[in-house]
Amino acid sequence: MEYLLMIVETRGQRESRSEEEGRALYDEMVRFGDDLTNRGKLLASRSLRPDKHGVQIQKRGEKSVLRDGPFAESKEMIGGFFLIDCTDRDEAIALAEQCPAARFATVEVRECAPCYVD
């Protein structure tokens, strides 16, 4: 079963760290990903730039509505993700608990499934 571990960060948190602190946390996350790879669990992972670099797109009829970030209505942003292969939800949760980001952000665990499945 595939699960997505989404790193949900408080907006502005990255800017509050020194470059040295940020690099140290990033290196710790890379090591976590390497460990998942070595255990045969990691399918993909990426760190994402802050949402101030993002754009939201909505299609209403034939018209596209684009909105540049940051997205004021949100106090949090997705900072990155790990796509993992697990035997079940409990294993996915156990891996999320080992994620270094759980100390400074929220790690949201979501099972991958078709959008018509509840």
Query: Do the domain assignments include residue 118?
Result: no
- Asked whether residue 116 is domain-assigned, the answer is no
Q: Tell whether 12 is covered by a domain.
A: yes
- pTM listed for this prediction: 0.91
Strand 2-10, strand 76-85: pairing: antiparallel
Number of domains, the chain: 1
Taking only the tens place, the pLDDT of each residue in 41-77 is 999 999 999 999 999 999 999 999 999 988 877 889 9
- 117 occurs within a structural domain: no
Per-residue confidence (pLDDT) for residue 72, from 0 to 100? 74
pLDDT tens-place string over residues 85-99: 999 999 999 999 999
76-85/55-60 β-pairing: unpaired
- CA–CA gap between residue 37 and residue 43 (Å, rounded): 8
CATH of the domain at 46: 3.30.70.1060
User: Is 96 contained in some domain?
Assistant: yes
Q: Does 47 reside within a domain?
A: yes
Alpha helices in 11-61 (DSSP H): 19-38
Q: What's the domain range around 9? A: 2-111
Please compute the mean of the pLDDT values over residues 24-30 and round it to a whole number.
97
Residue 13, in any domain of the structure? yes
